[in-house]
Structure 1
Amino acid sequence: MVESSAFWVESPHVGVLRRETVPKPGDGEVLVRTLYTGVSRGTEISVFSGHVPQSEFDRMRAPPHQDGELPGPVKYEYLNVGVVDQGPESLEGRIVFTLFPHQSAFVVPADAVVPVPVGIPARRAVLTGAVETAINVLWDARPLIGDQVSVIGAGMIGCCVARLLRGIPGVEVTLIDVNPARQVVADRLGVGFADVARPPGDRDIVINTSGSAAGLQLALETVVTDGEVLEASWYGDRPVTLMLGADFHSRRLTIRSSQVGAVAASRRGNRSRRERLELAMRLLHDPAFDAVLTGESSWRDLPEVMASLARGAPDVLCHTITWGEPK
Structure 2
Amino acid sequence: MTDTTGRVLQLLGLLQGRAMWTGPELAERLGVTTRSVRRDVERLRRLGYPVRASTGVGGGYQLGAGGKLPPLLLDPEEAVAVTVSLRLAAGGSVSGVEESALRALAKLDQVLPASLRGEVDAISQAVVAVEGVNVPVDARLLSTVARACRDRVLLYFAYRARDGAASERRVEPYRVVAMGRRWYLLAFDVGKADWRSFRLDRVEVGRVHATTFRFAPREAPDPVDYVRDSVIRSPYRYVARLRIRAPLDDIAARVPQNAGTLTDLGDGTCELETGAETLDYLAIEALWLGVDFEVLDPPELRGRVRELAARLRSAVGG
Provide TM-score, normalisation by structure 1.
0.29
Provide TM-score, normalisation by structure 2.
0.29
* Greater relative CO, 1 or 2 (CA 8 Å, sep 6+): 1
- Higher share of residues assigned helix: 2
